[in-house]
């Protein structure tokens, strides 16, 4: 029988104080938050369907998680591949809680998505005969990964999408604009977004439909492949607006991040292992044979735990990725990785690359239906911030860019349709939020507290967890969240930290509730997979419109919809 737990969580509805009467208001049919693959695809689709669209970016249009994606896009294009095989591989890696219909929709949309990207100017790598050069990654039974510049796929895709968005006459772009909160009407419907411009001015965007494509929250962790902007803002603001969350305990750790003490972590793409790279410990022992039959091409959760286990057993800060036996020169195959490693005196053709796992992808997120609708009217979500049912408990490599392209396009089209049925609702000019604006007696070290949170999450909500560690993390996060809410000044650094604390709190609650190990969620005190837990973890907020006062944790069958219809 499903369990429903109620947990106290007290948070302000709006992060920043404002009075709607004093806000400049921009009006559009559809507002999209985020300029990565999901957001750009949604914006282009909504504009093509006749909507006026605002695309709001936290940083530059090209500074996204998509930009840093190295692996590629999975699509059924090879003569020996089929849609059914790609679906089966995805379901297998997802450990029993994927939504079959979502997987099928995304997989079947792959070839058309690659065609769109090519038309928009993405130049994918090709073989000598002119056909697309397809590679293989962990969990895939066929060569189906298209890439550009070896491991520079994300850069190529992001540039093409950003150029297309800027060139479209019906899309207005607003870069370096911090989205603080979703604005709701008296019924709870989302009708706009409160933002701060790069000049520090508060503005409102009024919209018939709002699409969140704000990416993940890798900055929750000390070790991460994600850029600095990945603080989970969209997920947290959706929760404050009343949206249901799903499967936040599942956070994928990429097994191979370049590890140089003091340097930013750089992803070493899975296509390197797909080309023949092998993992060694400090004694130069190839260890993946001891952990899984697929060795280096096992699913990412298994490879990450194996790397972590080997680091502990050998008392080393990393393991090592060896490319010396590749058939072709790794410098030619992976020029981007070669350049980065050369900065640190590493010749990837002969020197093993020091690597360790890092937080990479937020598998859970805002619960959405097949069209991308959330449980809140007027609000949609796509890409990494959404839980579409594609990934289940463990994302298969290169399925995420595919998801953003296919479901982003679909959500943009549906949102444009709905914008014709639900015209703009004016923001109530009497709407206001009053909040304490810090304390003159107590100064918070936002940087120190952020680093403390990241370290706590790495230690206690990382690759290996247990109930004692999780519950201790919940207590600390709750204490920090109350302190920041009461004492921090109203500025982006504080808002980012509050968003991170919100997601960390929710993820830890979900992890504590799931008393089993499945996919990317591994608990050493419940190390087995349990059939009774073949379900989603759903978190539904409760509140009175001015505060989020509690969260209810429930379990829903993979066959059941968690969304209010």
Mean pLDDT within 17-44:
96
pLDDT, averaged across the chain: 92
User: Given CA atoms 138, 144, 149, 155 in this order, what sign does their dihedral have?
Assistant: negative
CA distances from 91 to 66, 100, 105, 127, 389 (A): 24, 8, 13, 30, 10
* CATH architecture label of 18-251+360-421: 3-Layer(bba) Sandwich (3.50)
Question: pTM, whole model, 2 decimals?
Answer: 0.93
pLDDT in tens, 332-380: 988 888 998 999 999 999 999 999 999 999 999 999 999 999 999 999 9
Residue 260 pLDDT greater than 90, yes or no:
no
| pLDDT number for residue 563 | 55
pLDDT in tens, 535-553: 999 999 988 778 888 889 9
Structure token digits, residue 100: 């079959």
Structure token digits, residue 124: 């994918």
- Largest separation between any pair of C-alpha atoms in the chain: 70
What are the catalytic residues?
300
Residue 37 pLDDT greater than 70, yes or no:
yes
pLDDT class for 41, splitting at 50, 70, 90? very high
Strands 134-135 and 145-146: antiparallel
DSSP, residue by residue, 198-224: TTS-EEEEEEEEEEE-----GGGSSSB
Mean pLDDT within 145-166:
92
Q: Which option is the CATH number for 255-357: 3.90.700.10, 3.30.300.30, 3.60.40.10, 3.30.465.10?
A: 3.90.700.10
| pLDDT number for residue 565 | 37
Structure token digits, residue 257: 């991040």
Look at the domain 4-14+433-557 and name its fold: Methane Monooxygenase Hydroxylase; Chain G, domain 1 (1.20.58)
Helix (H, G, I), strand (E, B) or coil at 1: coil
> Which is nearest to 238 in space by CA: 99, 381, 362, 127?
381
The Cα–Cα gap between 57 and 68 comes to 16
CA distances from 174 to 171, 203, 286, 327 (A): 10, 12, 49, 46
pLDDT in tens, 480-527: 999 998 888 889 999 999 999 999 999 999 999 999 999 999 999 999
pLDDT in tens, 389-407: 999 999 998 999 999 999 9
pLDDT in tens, 445-465: 899 999 999 999 999 999 999
The Cα–Cα gap between 341 and 303 comes to 22
What are the residue ranges spanned by the domains of the chain?
A: 4-14+433-557, 18-251+360-421, 255-357
């Amino acid at each position: 029988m499903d369990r429903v737990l109620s947990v106290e969580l007290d948070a302000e509805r709006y992060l920043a104080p404002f009075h709607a009467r004093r806000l400049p208001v921009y009006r559009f049919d559809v507002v999209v938050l985020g300029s990565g693959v999901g957001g750009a695809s949604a914006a282009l689709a909504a504009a093509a369907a006749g909507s006026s669209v605002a695309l709001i970016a936290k940083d530059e249009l090209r500074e996204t998680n998509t930009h840093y994606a190295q692996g590629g896009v999975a699509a059924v294009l090879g003569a020996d591949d089929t849609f059914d095989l790609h679906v089966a591989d995805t379901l297998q890696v997802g450990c029993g809680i994927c939504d079959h219909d979502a997987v099928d929709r995304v997989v079947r949309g792959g070839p058309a998505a690659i065609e769109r990207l090519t038309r928009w100017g993405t130049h994918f790598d090709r073989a000598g005969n002119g056909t697309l050069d397809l590679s293989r990654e962990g969990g895939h039974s066929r060569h189906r990964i298209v890439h550009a510049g070896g491991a520079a796929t994300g850069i190529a895709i992001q540039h093409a999408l950003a150029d297309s968005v800027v060139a479209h006459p019906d899309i207005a772009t607003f870069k370096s604009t911090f989205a603080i909160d979703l604005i709701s009407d008296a019924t709870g419907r989302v009708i706009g977004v409160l933002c701060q411009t790069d000049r520090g001015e508060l503005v409102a965007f009024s919209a018939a439909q709002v699409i969140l494509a704000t990416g993940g929250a890798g900055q929750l962790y000390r070790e991460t492949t994600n850029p600095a902007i990945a603080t989970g803002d969209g997920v947290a603001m959706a929760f404050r607006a009343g949206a249901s969350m799903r499967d936040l305990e599942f956070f994928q750790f990429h097994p191979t991040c370049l590890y140089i003490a003091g340097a930013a972590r750089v992803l070493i793409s899975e296509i390197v292992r797909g080309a023949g790279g092998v993992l060694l410990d400090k004694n130069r022992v190839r260890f993946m044979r001891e952990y899984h039959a697929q060795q280096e091409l096992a699913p990412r959760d298994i490879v990450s735990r194996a790397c972590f286990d080997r680091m502990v057993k050998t008392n080393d800060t990393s393991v090592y990725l060896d490319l010396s036996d590749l058939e072709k020169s790794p410098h030619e195959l992976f020029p981007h990785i070669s350049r980065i490693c050369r900065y640190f005196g590493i010749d990837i053709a002969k020197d093993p690359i020091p690597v360790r796992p890092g937080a990479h992808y937020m598998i859970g997120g805002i619960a959405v239906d097949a069209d991308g609708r959330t449980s809140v009217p007027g609000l949609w979500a796509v890409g990494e911030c959404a839980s579409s049912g594609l990934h289940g408990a463990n994302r298969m490599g290169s399925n995420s860019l595919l998801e953003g392209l296919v479901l982003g396009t679909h959500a943009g089209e549906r949102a444009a349709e709905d914008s014709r049925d639900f015209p703009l609702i004016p923001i109530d000019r009497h709407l206001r939020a009053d909040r304490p604006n810090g304390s003159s007696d107590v100064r918070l070290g936002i940087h120190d507290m952020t680093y403390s949170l990241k370290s706590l999450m790495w230690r206690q909500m990382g690759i290996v967890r247990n109930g004692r560690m999780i519950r201790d993390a919940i207590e600390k996060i709750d204490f920090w969240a109350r302190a920041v809410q009461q004492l921090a000044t109203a500025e982006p650094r504080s808002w980012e930290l509050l968003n991170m604390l919100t997601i960390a709190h929710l993820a830890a609650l979900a992890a504590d509730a799931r008393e089993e190990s499945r996919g990317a969620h591994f608990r050493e005190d419940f190390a087995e997979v349990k059939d009774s837990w073949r379900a989603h973890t759903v978190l539904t907020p409760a509140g009175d419109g001015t505060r989020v006062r509690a969260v209810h944790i429930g379990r829903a069958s993979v066959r059941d919809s968690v969304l209010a219809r």
